Amino acid sequence: MGLQNELRKGAVCGRFVTGENLHLTLAFLGDCDSKQIAIAKAVLGEMDFEPFGIVIDNIGRFRRDGGDIWWAGVANNRDLLRVQKILTDKLAAAGFKLDKRKYSPHITLGREVVTRDGFVPRQPLAFGEEVLMIELMRSERRDGKMVYTPICCKEVQV
């Protein structure tokens, strides 16, 4: 991703998300046992959605001591918000305790990033992607690196 390469060039240090791990989170479930995973798979299996587009149109950061979390922001999108709300409502009804903060769709580019003095990222020209599937992912740290493994997926209904 060009945004991430620009960020790398402007950084003194940081942990950058590998290409295969770039993703847009709809709901973070935290640690789940096998029963909860089965419930989440069933909830995802019940989902129906049509293809929709998203547009990446900004870059920003969450400021943190020891380095910031930099992200690519997704433009306001009614279809994305609708799918995210349906999913989180179903997960909450199934007993999951979900984050109460307002959903802020973004793709994390790097963590613990310290940039050079005066670094100002070029704001991206808007570019889009079509969403054709939602995946339930397992995240785990292996040999000091985060690895995401698909557990199941739900493809769009056409």
Q: What does the alpha-carbon distance between residue 97 and residue 28 come to, in Å, rounded to a whole number?
A: 9
**Strand ranges (E), 32-155:** 52-62, 68-74, 106-115, 127-131, 133-142, 145-155
User: How does DSSP assign 52-85, residue by residue?
Assistant: EEEEEEEEEEE--TTSEEEEEEEPP-HHHHHHHH
- 106 annotated active-site: yes
- The residue annotated as part of the active site, out of 23, 82, 85, 122, is 23
- 102 annotated active-site: no
61 pairs with which residues across the strands? 70
- The residue annotated as part of the active site, out of 14, 17, 56, 106, is 106
Q: What does the alpha-carbon distance between residue 47 and residue 106 come to, in Å, rounded to a whole number?
A: 22
- Angle, CA of 120, 13 and 69, to the nearest 5°: 65
The contacts of residue 76 (CB under 8 Å, 6+ apart) are: none
* Three-state secondary structure call for residue 139: strand
Catalytic residues, by residue number, are 23, 106
